[in-house]
Amino acid sequence: MTESVPLPERTVIVQEHLRAAGVDTEIRVLPDSARTAAAAAAAIGCEVAAIANSLVFVVDGDPVLVMTSGGHRVDFTVIAEAIGAKNVAMAPASTVREATGQAIGGVAPVGHPAPLRTYVDEALRTHDVIWAAAGHPHTVMPLTFNTLQALTDGQIIAVE
């Protein structure tokens, strides 16, 4: 992070959660939005599969966060089976904002008003460094798979 570039308010909240968890990582402010895995990968200079997409689903009525590889398409049936759910659907933008305090395209794995039940795509394990949104569509942060899993207390699952 360049000190002269102020972090967006939601990213400051994410940074505070990271510090409280003892995670030392550099949040980067990108010049353009990284709302998609492809856009984030292009801006960072990494493989799309190394992007940790933060997807919020409504699972049996409750919001749930799934951190999935940008190289995967989520299969709702696979997720439902992996987590023992009857109904899995994408959360509408209003639910994402309410559950995370963040906008779609910038949802971080932490920094939410209350912790969300979280699942982590096992495919992210194959990357030494993965990149996640940091609370705003213009901010990203590098993490390791183990850090992401520990930070979110996420259960590791297959998503496709």
77-104 as b/e: b if 16+ CB within 10 A: eebbebbebeebeebeeebbeebbbbbb
Neighbours of 119 (CB within 10 A): 24
Phi first, then psi: what are they for 89, rounded to 5°? -145, 155
Which pLDDT score, from 0 to 100, does residue 39 have? 87
Q: Which tens digit of pLDDT belongs to each residue from 97-110?
A: 999 999 998 999 99
For the chain, helix, strand, coil in percent to 5 are: 30, 25, 45
Task: State the average pLDDT for the chain.
Answer: 93
For the chain, which residues make up each domain, given as ranges?
9-157
CATH number of the domain at 9-157, out of 3.90.960.10, 3.40.350.10, 3.40.50.360, 3.20.20.120?
3.90.960.10
Q: At 1, is the pLDDT very low, low, confident or very high (cuts 50, 70, 90)?
A: very low
Please report where in the chains the tokens 């609370």 appear, as a residue: 135
> What is the spatial distance between Cα 36 and Cα 106, in angstroms, rounded to a whole number?
9
> What is the spatial distance between Cα 130 and Cα 82, in angstroms, rounded to a whole number?
22
For the chain, give the number of residues: 160
Q: Is 50 exceeded by the pLDDT of residue 2? A: no
Q: Which tens digit of pLDDT belongs to each residue from 4-33?
A: 578 999 999 999 999 999 999 999 998 888
Q: Is 50 exceeded by the pLDDT of residue 74? A: yes
Q: Is 60 exceeded by the pLDDT of residue 3? A: no
Which pLDDT score, from 0 to 100, does residue 4 have? 57
Which pLDDT score, from 0 to 100, does residue 31 have? 84
